Chains A and B, each alone.
Chain A
């Protein structure tokens, strides 16, 4: 089955700097890659996703890139703010067939 590896497990950045979180997946048939943000004590919530026919997608300060050949995708957060502090999860799945498989998460701390 699918296996998703996520790095780093913790990340600290200064406010205003950029943060990058990377994930690799094992199943070349996977074609849906969402990112979830989980604030302390809250539920995970989708922040951005990308499908295999797209190489990059942006939404304001957040962007995701996908390299299908290398089987990795990344989350980029620019101009980080204290409210970006949270745990971020990447995930992968085969559309319409299998449930999402999540990475182990990255705890991002933005230091003011």
Chain B
């Protein structure tokens, strides 16, 4: 049972490049999330998907897009990377939304130069 799997683990991008972070969960969870973690800022929600077919903005959505491809997969896309998007990105999932335990992936370390 892998839980939440996200790729890539490490990535260096040049300013203006695009990339997609992939995330998949095998726990049959309805809800999936993308958070970013910056020093001293905690975990901030970028986008979430309460259920298959729906997506909603979180606290810091600017510069990102998401796709809930199916129940298992939720991807995060940076269309034109900026140095301010240098961060650690965590994908997560939960059974029925915010009132249940969320499980995090191992994180993706992204550096934009």
Contacts and interface: CB of A to CB of B under 8 A. Distances in A.
A41 to B, nearest CB: 8
Contacts of A105: 40, 42-43
A100 B44 CA distance: 10
Interface residues of A, number: 25
Interface size class of B (residues with CB under 8 A): 20 to 34
Which of A49, A99, A104 has the largest count of B CB atoms less than 10 A from its CB? Answer: A99
Interface stretch (B64-72, B78-86, B104-112): B104-112
Contacts of B90: 43-44
Interface string A69-88: 00000000000000000000
Contact of B98 (A43, A45, A95): A95
Interface of A: 6, 9, 31-32, 34, 42-46, 49, 89, 93-105
The 4 closest A-B pairs by CB, nearest first: A95-B99, A93-B98, A104-B42, A43-B104
